[in-house]
Structure 1
Amino acid sequence: MELRDSSAYKPTVENVVEREGNKTARRDFRSQVTVVSACLLVGISFGMSLGHSAVLLPRLQAANSSLYVDEDTTSWIISLNAGAGPLGCLIGGTMIDHWGRRKICFLANIGLFLGGLLVCLAQRVPMLMSGKTIEGFFRSMVATSLTVLADELADPKFRGFTVCIVITFGSIGVMAITSLGTLWPWRRAAWVTTTVFLLSVLPLVLVSESPSWLARKGRLEEAARSLKWLWGPGREMEAEEDLAFLISRNNSTHRQSRSHQGFLKSCREFFTSRILKPFFILHFFNTIQIFCGFGIFTFYAVDILLKIREAGDKENSMDENFSAVIMSFVRIVGNATATLLMIRVGRRPLALISGVGITMSALTLGVVLILQSIQNISFGSDWLTLTLTVLFIWFHSFGFNQLTILMIGETQAAHVRGFACGYIYTINDIVLGGTLKFYHSLLRNLQIHGLFLMFGISCLICTIFVYFFLPETQGRTLEQIEDYFRQPNVMWVTRKKSTQSERTCEQSTTEVTTALDK
């Protein structure tokens, strides 16, 4: 079948929309297992890098440390580690659109290894800072490239499961480095982390490049091979239909880029409502969560748990290092629960349950800490504060933490997906880096109870925003999600109530037919 023959593949577009809308055909199970398996070690690597600072810096501040750093220096190390992320996100987002998702993910993991190697060999603080900065830069590049790659390779029904299980293994990486950092000297733990960075490069050779990216670049033979690999043996017709569908959706965009006004049209295209609506909805959803506390807790877990312990019954309280290991395990349980539910339950229910749970646990913990510190009320042990902290972490891991990563790649339009994801991650890392730099000042002014009250209020605002604006994407193809944002509504609650599959089939077929007839 000649794919460029419009009379031949107009029906194929209808077949693809109908097939995906009715959820009657699924990509090959073996290819999906390969995609998940290849991403798991990258997820562990990312998690170990993310959680390393929380256990590294308390060890460096110890009196017997081989490389002593003071409180101000630790804030610089953490802020540089997080603050290098914006550049990594922005450059990574641009690079994956030009050179491919898998290739940049591969190179980013090598860079992560080089940064970890500098940390392991550091004998002076500047070398340690350089290593953590490089590590933060490439960690953000890994996050950007891996998110988009997993979104575009995964079957629509299991896309949430695929991305979320990678996030779950990221949490396993956090728990692994938290445990190792608690039990071992910091340099030995750093060597283990760096070894994992290197090993995470190997599984990426098993997966294919994104067929969506290959088709947009005109590399149709490679896109066809990628789709055949995703669909498996004996499913050549489905692969051809998908390729025809990708070609047809990119047809008008390619035609505009070849015209003399292509650049100006491309710029104007970015500022259309169908691009800006998902961009700003996910932008706000991600940025407000920095003040919901999960990122701050990840980098300063041991210190925050120590402050909670000091506010209560210190003698009968659990050691903060052991508590940090417990919180890492709770994070895994929350991620795993959401991963299993993601196959059947929509994004919105998970987000709303998560938001309400975080809000209640954070505000209650803040009130309890006020009673303990101001009125000197003792609850006899740390069971209440520990339980509330566990709930705070579990509800974060159950919804918000998963969905911010998953839905960035899902909702952005295909031709700006890399740039949009990179930009959102960039701004998030800038805000997070600044917040981490001023964490100690924030803690001195608000105290530990005020910090959790701030987390709770921020999460309440985020939950209200989710209810009104966040769209449901579970079970929909990336093309169907993109078509939703072509509708005139901004808020999800004011959307049209017509059947999604009927609307998508009619709209997609009309657009493609128009593009082919030009």
Structure 2
Amino acid sequence: MLLSISSIMLPALLSPESNIKVDLDTASWIASIIGAGGILGFMLSAIIMEVYGRKRAYIFSVTLSMVGWICVYFGTAVPVLLIGRLLGGVSNCSTASIGSVVIGEYTNPRIRSVFLNLKVAGIWCGILLLHILGHFLYWKTVILVPVTLAVTSFAIVSTWPESPSWFASKNNFRECERTFYWLRGKSTDSVQELKELIEAQQIAPHMLANFKVHGTFVATGAVMFIMLVSLWFVLPETKDKTLQEIENYFNHGRYSVVDVDNEKLNKKPIKSTHDSTADSIYFKI
């Protein structure tokens, strides 16, 4: 929903009747600032998950989502909108990483794929819903939908137990066993899975023992940041350029078609009128 709201909100902000005056450059910042928040969200979620647990990390992420949407809804100035979108980006990406971890640690292996598919389906259903509502309603009215969903999510997550895997990583095997059986029930398969979970934590792999879960996510976020900075210097400017000019740049290193054609002509062989052998020669114009 955070991504799709831009297509509803920005046309309204750019209209002459808008109370918040926005130009194209500012609108671009409002739409894209969620990317910066996403990098921070991936890093923060990894650290909070490892230190405070999956449940608290999810509550933190949902809280940021509520605050971000409220800022966008009540915002009457561009800085407030930017802050709201930035917080939304942090929440969106942190929720994505935490959600995958939660599904992996909380659900039964037999139905885990169903929850993963529902997670993806829910994203696209939310995008579709907002576009449909945006066609009929004012954009601030549409924002009430994700706000309501965020509040509902906060209430549901508050009833969760903490992850058994997190308890096991903290060597709290008593709570690990209690929450594991609360989630899965007690059966032959669940007893075996709990045994393997505890053994895996007691004999941790070298990478996990040295870098922990948060170290892996922080390293991934750092690589993403380096790639983002690299793309800033490597990718060409596409503003006010046609698709053909962009294609010429990637194929020939130049935007202009004339420059490319002239370069080809300069290398084209012709027959000399003064040479009886009609050997090909090259010339420069």
Instruction: Give the TM-score normalised by structure 2.
Output: 0.74
Match of 1:69 in 2: 22
Instruction: Specify whether residues 76 and 440 from structure 1 end up closer, same or farther in structure 2 by C-alpha distance, changes over 3 A only.
Output: farther
Query: Could you say which residue in structure 1 is the equivalent of 2:152?
Result: 199
Q: What is the aligned partner in structure 2 of residue 94 from structure 1?
A: 47
- Mapped to 2, the partners of 1:146 and 1:207 lie a distance apart of 13
d(CA) in 2 for partners of 1:179, 1:145: 29
- Aligned partner of 2:194 in structure 1 is 243
Residues of 2 paired with 1:431 and 1:173: CA distance? 30
What amino acid sits opposite 1:252 in the alignment? I
Deviation of residue 450 (structure 1)? 5.9
Deviation at 1:151, TM superposition (A): 1.6
Of residues 74, 87, 91, the one that matches 1:138 is: 91
Shift of 1:175: 1.2
CA distance in 2, matches of 1:448, 1:188: 41
CA displacement at 1:227 relative to structure 2: 1.8
- Please report how far the alpha carbon of residue 192 of structure 1 lies from its aligned counterpart in structure 2 after TM superposition: 2.9
Please report how far the alpha carbon of residue 430 of structure 1 lies from its aligned counterpart in structure 2 after TM superposition. Answer: 7.9
Structure 2 residue corresponding to 1:218, chosen from 163, 171, 175: 171
Q: Which runs of 5+ in 2 are unaligned?
A: 251-285
5+ residue gaps, structure 1, are 1-47, 255-264, 271-414, 455-518
- Structure 1 residues 190, 268: CA separation in 2 closer, same or farther (over 3 Å shift)? closer
Structure 1 residues 469-496: Cα deviation after superposition (integer angstroms, max 9, x where no partner): xxxxxxxxxxxxxxxxxxxxxxxxxxxx
1:424 Cα shift?
3.4
Partner residue, 1:424: 220
Paired residues of 1:84 and 1:136 also in contact (CA < 8 A): yes
- Inter-partner Cα distance in structure 2 for 1:267 and 1:87: 22
Once the 2 structures are TM-superposed, how far is the Cα of residue 426 of structure 1 from its aligned partner? Answer: 6.4
Note closer, same or farther for the CA distance 1:92–1:100 as it changes in structure 2 (3 Å cut).
same
Name 1:116's counterpart in structure 2: 69
**TM-score scaled by length of structure 1:** 0.43
User: How far has the Cα of 1:249 moved from its partner?
Assistant: 1.4
For the 8 Å contact 2:34–2:85, the answer to whether it is kept is: yes
Is 1:253 aligned to residue 49 of structure 2? no
CA change 1:422–1:62 in 2 (3 A) is farther
In the other structure, the counterpart of 1:497 is none
For residues 75 and 124 of structure 1, the distance between their equivalents in structure 2, rounded to whole angstroms, comes to 15
Distance 1:161 1:141, change over 3 A: same
Inter-CA distance 421–154: structure 2 relative to 1 (3 Å threshold): farther
Aligned length: 246
Match in the other structure for 1:447: 243
Q: Which residue identity is paired with 1:65?
A: S
CA displacement at 1:117 relative to structure 2: 0.6
Amino acid in the other structure paired with 1:447:
L
Contact 1:83–1:429 (CA under 8 A) maintained in structure 2: no
The structure with higher relative contact order (CA 8 Å, sep 6+) is: 1
Tell me which residue corresponds to 2:162. 209
Which secondary structure does the structure 2 equivalent of 1:120 belong to?
helix
Q: CA deviation at 1:146?
A: 1.2
Q: Provide Cα deviations, 1:66-122, integer angstroms capped at 9, x if missing partner.
A: 223111001111222221111121011111011111221112101110111111111
Equivalence for 1:58:
11
SS at match of 1:215: helix
Q: Aligned residue for 2:2?
A: 49
Q: Specify whether residues 434 and 188 from structure 1 end up closer, same or farther in structure 2 by C-alpha distance, changes over 3 A only.
A: farther
Give runs of aligned pairs for residues 142-221 of structure 1, distance below 5 A: 142-221=95-174
In structure 2, the CA distance between the partners of 1:101 and 1:169, relative to structure 1 (3 Å rule), is: same
Amino acid across the alignment from 1:445: K
Shift in alpha-carbon separation, 1:156–1:267, aligned structure 2, 3 A: closer
Q: Is the 8 A contact 1:83 1:434 kept in 2?
A: no
Which amino acid in structure 1 is aligned with residue 45 of structure 2? G
Shift of the alpha carbon at 1:242?
2.5
**How many Å separate the matches in 1 of 2:236 and 2:135?**
22
CA-atom RMSD, angstroms? 3.2
More helix by share: 1
Larger Rg: 2
Measure the CA separation in 2 of the matches of 1:426 and 1:112: 23
Helix, strand or coil for the counterpart of 1:161? helix
For 2:263, the equivalent position in structure 1 comes to: none
Is the 1:83–1:430 Cα contact (8 Å) retained in structure 2? no
Q: 1:183 to 1:225 in 2, by over 3 A?
A: same
- 3-state secondary structure, aligned to 1:445: coil
Shift of the alpha carbon at 1:55? Answer: 2.0
Work out the CA distance in 2 between the residues paired with 1:114 and 1:96: 20
Q: Cα gap change, 1:200/1:241 in structure 2, threshold over 3 Å: closer, same or farther? A: same
Whichever residue aligns with residue 193 of structure 2, its letter is D
Q: How does 1:368-517 map to 2 (within 5 A)?
A: 415-416=212-213, 418-421=214-217, 423-424=219-220, 428=224, 441-442=237-238, 444-447=240-243
- Sequence identity (%): 24
Q: Quickly say closer, same or farther: Cα 1:117–1:183, change in 2 above 3 A.
A: same
